[in-house]
Amino acid sequence: MTSPLNEGDSLDQLQTPEQVELLDTIDKLRNQGLGHYNISLPQLIVCGDQSSGKSSVLEGLTRLRFPTKEGICTTFATELVLRKNTIPSILCTIIPGKERSQAEKDELSKFKQTFTSPEEFAFPKLLEEARKCMAFGVQPDHGNFFEDILQIRYSGPDLPSLTIVDLPGIVQSHRQGSRAVQTVRDLVQGYMADQRSIILAIVHAKCDYETQANLLWAKAFDPTAARTMGIITKPDCLDPNSDSEAQFIKLAKNQEYPLDLGWHCVKNRGFGMDEQSNKERDESEAQFFAAGNWAPLSRANVGIDALRNKLSRVLLQHIRKELPSLSVAIFDALAATERSLKGLGQPRDEAQQQRNFLMEKAQRFQALTLDALRGIYSDPFFALSLSDSIPPARLRTEIQNLNLAFAYTMYRKGHQWQIVDGQYSPGHGFPSLLSTSIDNYDGLPEPINIERSKFLNERIGTQVRLSRPSGLPSLVNTWVIGEVFRQQAQPWEAIARQHLSDVYDAVNAYLHESLSNMMDQDTFHALMQEHVEPELQQRWQRLSAKLDELLVPYQQQEPIIYDPSFIHDLEQIRAKRYFEPKNQFALGSAPKSAPTQLLTESMDDFTNCEILNLMHTYYKKSISVFISNVTVLAIENCLITELPSLLNPELVLNMEEEKLSVIAAESEEISSERAALKQKLEDLKAGKRVLDSQARRSGKVTRNTPRSQKAPPKPAAAQAQPPRPKTPVSQTTPQNSDVQIDDLTSGINAFNLTPPAKPKHQIATLTPPKSPKAAAEPTPTWKMRERVDSWRSEDWEE
């Protein structure tokens, strides 16, 4: 909390070179655009209702004529930089808003108007010229409200060293509609919400102070009333000895609405007093506060001269308090900006830069893909998520599950007919965890159940009768065996193509996951479109062609097999058929009674049974071979094995520059982001240099010490000194303080503008090492308070 001002303090006491230099430091930081990067700066903001006397207060402070007519509404903030100088000069420029493009910033930077004396200064004309300049690049329906700031740097004799931001007057209605009213509110509230802003709330005495918007907003944004100062205007409009006058006098005494920074009263020029000189204005104000019920108020809390002194001190103390946290904010912003810039990688404007970038990604891709195919998941890229699903990065696991589901489905749905009196038991030996992958085959038809006798007569018998070969009637026509097999194995192609599609999708998902993880989205999409997707299409075509090749023996050729176990399996089927009372054929599931004597069967029955036995034995051998061929010869050889070579360093090395540029060149968005980050980094570094320079001139060199380092203990001489008592804030008339004005600059010399540690809810202790000499003496332990915003000698206690 700011200490009250001594009545004897003069303006000259508040304008030592060191103090002016400190104010100039903050102005430099503001001119460098630090506010554009969410780094707020210590400042005084003036806010009040339209026609509340705000312009008259600024006119009294600056001695410049401000427009005071009702109905005049400024549509942007105005920063007044006042400095004492023997030669008057006024320089007016525009600080562009943070949303402005670089072209708009360059255009606004051209605005410059100068005046050699206050008499030449024409504020209404200046506002209009600034408004026209700010309209550059703005849509016509914008409403002429801007985030840009008009800066007026005024140097002259008898001026306080002060920087104040004047905000547009708060209006309840506007000729441009409710949108303009809301825009003003958003602008004013944005400044009031800034925790480094001291709110100068202008409260005019013409109406109840509790209904005035700026005071209501100040209560919302500064609930502890720690950074709000009330300024009462137009007290001469109150009827003497009235209840309203008594209420506003209590308000001025800080009794009605207590504020840590207190209240101040000024009397504006009255109606018809526009031609009144500054001296006459001040004399009229002094006479008013010297008489009547206002006379008992402290001279430090009334009048424009006292207000200049008070504001200079408040701003100086406020800056002093905020410098450490400001240094921390700049340090943090520098670190974050450097990280963001590093995250963009090296620039990619030239071909070699692009090639280097893509080479690095190709090496990373190869390493990840080799691990993904071997099932080595040690890299963080393969980390499991909280869900139960397998992440796309774990490619080998996904392919294995898909292969198992494919094999299971082939055994369960690969045959067109299910002969119901056999021993075939589909799906045996496959784990239940395949349920998710098996769902992909739900759309495929189930086998058709058929009685064995019906299958022999209708499916095989019909083919036999239409295809009898020469020779003995019982001879088996091998063509019939092949035809029945082809009909039985008809579902193979659909199941296999579904499997190829599933594996291809898994590979595609892995490529999206891996490549998008290692580069920006624009480069990723360009790489996919220009290189990866065409390569994948070629591999898909090879994969499809390989499946066509693997299907030829089972769709177009006669059955051929050289497996020695084929005859053994066939003999077992025959034996079960003719020498067991119950037979269980592999293609069935419900055993029935069968004839046990071969002589009871007809020649066609014998031939049909032989064809079924041969077809079934061949089917049983072939399905396993086909499953292995699809998973190994097709998927592994044509798609999986060559996957790491999809993007490899040799390919990048030989890539044409035109294609390389399309893929690896930076997008306009990244180039713009990089340029913005570089500009931000330069501005932040410039701001840090300003603070470092201020520290050096104050006699304290900034050290690049890690923020976690503990602060050194106080010198021994300082340990014996009792802590200086803090001056309480008076609720009525300020008392003389034992704090001298020179302590402000001496306190600045104690600042280390290096970002300090941020102790949050903890105490940092530092105990000096004991020496033999001091072994008998108690060792002092120094503790640092938790507050970071009060980086002063008083914050160290024993």
Beta bridge partners of 114: 91
Please provide residue 238's backbone torsions phi and psi, each rounded to the nearest 5 degrees.
-85, 145
Note whether 491 and 445 are within 8 A (CB): yes
Taking phi over 0 as left and psi of -120 to 50 as alpha, with beta for the rest, 53 belongs to: left
Do residues 94 and 108 lie in contact, with contact meaning Cβ atoms separated by under 8 Å? Answer: yes
Q: Which distant-in-sequence residues (6+ apart) come within 8 Å of 386 by Cβ?
A: none
In three-state secondary structure terms, 603 is helix
In angstroms, the CA 446 to CA 23 distance is: 85
The pLDDT value given to residue 1: 40
**Tell me: the pLDDT tens digits for 259-312?**
999 999 999 876 667 677 888 888 999 999 999 999 999 999 999 999 988 998
Q: Is 448:417 a contact under the CB 8 Å cutoff?
A: yes
**Lowest mean per-residue pLDDT among 103-117, 130-144, 159-173, 468-482:** 468-482
613, 614, 576: which is closest to 595 by C-alpha?
Answer: 576
The b-or-e profile of 557-577 (16+ CB within 10 A means b, else e) is eebeeeeeeeeebbeebeebb
Residues 6+ away with beta carbon under 8 Å from 371: 377, 378, 379, 382
- The per-residue pLDDT for range 43-91, each reduced to its tens digit, is 899 999 888 888 889 888 888 877 655 545 677 899 998 888 888 999 9
Whether the CB-CB separation of 14 and 313 falls below 8 Å is answered with yes
Mean pLDDT highest for which of 57-61, 367-371, 611-615, 702-706?
A: 367-371
User: Does the structure show a pLDDT above 50 at 788?
Assistant: no
Quick: pLDDT tens for 493-548: 999 999 999 999 999 999 999 999 998 888 999 999 999 999 999 999 999 999 99
Give the C-alpha distances (Å, rounded to integers) separating 513 from 375, 392, 503, 651: 16, 7, 15, 21
Q: Tell me the C-alpha to C-alpha distance, in Å, between residue 58 and each of 171, 200, 488, 562.
A: 19, 11, 98, 106
List the one residue out of 51, 61, 280, 283 whose CA is nearest residue 168. Answer: 51
Q: What's the pLDDT tens digit per position in 636-665?
A: 999 999 899 999 999 999 999 999 999 988
Buried b (16+ CB within 10 A) or exposed e, 403-428: bbbbbbbbbbbbbbbbbbbbebebee
Class of domain 1-67+187-336+674-798: alpha beta
What span, in angstroms and rounded, lies between the C-alpha atoms of 763 and 771?
25
pLDDT above 90 coverage of the chain, percent: 36
Using the structure block, give the residue that is written with the tokens 């006491």: 13
pLDDT given for residue 597 in this prediction: 45
| Domain boundaries, given as residue ranges, for the chain | 1-67+187-336+674-798, 397-664
Average pLDDT, the chain: 78
Query: In the prediction, which pLDDT does 736 show?
Result: 38
Which runs of E-coded beta strand occur in 434-535? 448-450
Q: What is the pLDDT of residues 720-746, one digit of tens each?
A: 444 444 433 334 434 433 333 344 334
Pairing of strands 43-48, 197-204: parallel
What are 215's strand-pairing partners?
none
Contact 163/82 with Cβ under 8 angstroms? yes
Contact (CB, 8 A) for 455 and 585:
no
pLDDT digits (tens, 9 = 90+) for 539-579: 999 999 999 999 999 998 888 888 888 888 878 877 776 65
Q: What is the pLDDT of residue 525?
A: 93
Looking up tokens 């530092």 gives: 766
Q: What pLDDT score was predicted for residue 553?
A: 92
Say whether pLDDT at 595 is over 60: no
Q: What are the pLDDT digits (tens) for 377-401?
A: 999 999 987 776 888 999 999 999 9
Q: What does the pLDDT read at residue 732?
A: 40
pLDDT in tens, 408-452: 999 999 998 888 775 444 444 454 444 567 888 888 888 888 887
Segment of 96-105, 404-413, 770-779 carrying the highest mean pLDDT? 404-413
| Residue predicted with more confidence, 175 or 771 | 175
